[in-house]
């Protein structure tokens, strides 16, 4: 009797495990390139008392995402920064909201830096999907991106930013 129960349990475990493997194998990996334009809608920065030009703070950006297929999404980003003379780490979250109501959320980090030739900054970073809703429910994957500022942050220009990104992700099988 014990042997039958153990054999049945082992068969059940193997069946479940093979089902998981088949499901994962059936999940399709997609790579999508997209472009984001955004500007700062809110920002709060406070000086740090160690060296001149050192600030920490939070900010929010809003904008538009356009994928290589032409799909458009609203963009919302919230982040923190720790910059010395406009150079340093930035980290936060971005949310894309699509026409059908589906969303994706990416947790990311980047380094803000300036080249000697330009008064405007550049960014380079990476992130991971942390959530998806609607057709993106269960999304897993990564995002790599580079970007450049088009205008500086001021009352008039709000730090317009242009980013090119490559996203590689999988969705659970339906």
68 to 10, 32, 36, 165: CA distances (angstroms): 47, 7, 11, 10
Task: Write down the pTM of the prediction.
Answer: 0.82
The CATH number for 71's domain is 2.40.350.10
Q: What's the mean pLDDT in 69-89?
A: 96
Domain assignment present for residue 149? The answer is: yes
Question: What's the pLDDT at 153?
Answer: 86
% of the chain surpassing 90 pLDDT: 74
Q: What is the rounded distance in angstroms from the CA atom of residue 155 to the CA atom of residue 7? A: 72
Structure tokens at 71: 């799909």
Backbone dihedral angles phi then psi of residue 5, each to the nearest 5 degrees: -65, -45
| Tens-place pLDDT, residues 134-167 | 999 999 999 999 999 999 888 899 999 999 999 9
Tally of structural domains, the chain: 1
146: containing domain: 28-170
Provide, for the chain, the percentages of residues in helix, strand and coil under a 3-state DSSP scheme, each rounded to the nearest 5.
15, 60, 25
Nearest-angstrom CA–CA distance, 80 and 51: 19
């Amino acid at each position: 009797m014990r042997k039958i129960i153990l054999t049945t349990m082992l068969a059940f475990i193997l069946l479940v495990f093979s089902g998981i493997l088949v499901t994962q194998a059936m999940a399709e990996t997609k790579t999508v390139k997209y472009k984001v334009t955004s500007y700062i809608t809110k920002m709060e920065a406070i000086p740090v008392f160690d060296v001149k030009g050192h600030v920490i703070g939070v900010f929010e950006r809003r904008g538009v995402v356009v994928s290589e297929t032409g799909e458009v999404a609203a963009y919302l980003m919230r982040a923190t920064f720790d910059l010395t003379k406009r150079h340093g780490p930035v980290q936060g979250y971005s949310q894309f909201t699509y026409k059908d109501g589906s969303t994706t959320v990416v947790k990311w980090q980047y380094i803000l830096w300036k080249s000697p030739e330009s008064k405007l900054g550049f960014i380079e970073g990476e992130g991971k999907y942390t959530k998806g809703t609607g057709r993106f429910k269960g999304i897993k994957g990564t995002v790599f991106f580079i970007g450049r500022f088009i205008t500086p942050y001021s009352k008039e220009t709000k730090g317009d930013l242009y980013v090119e990104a490559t996203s590689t992700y999988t969705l659970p099988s339906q």
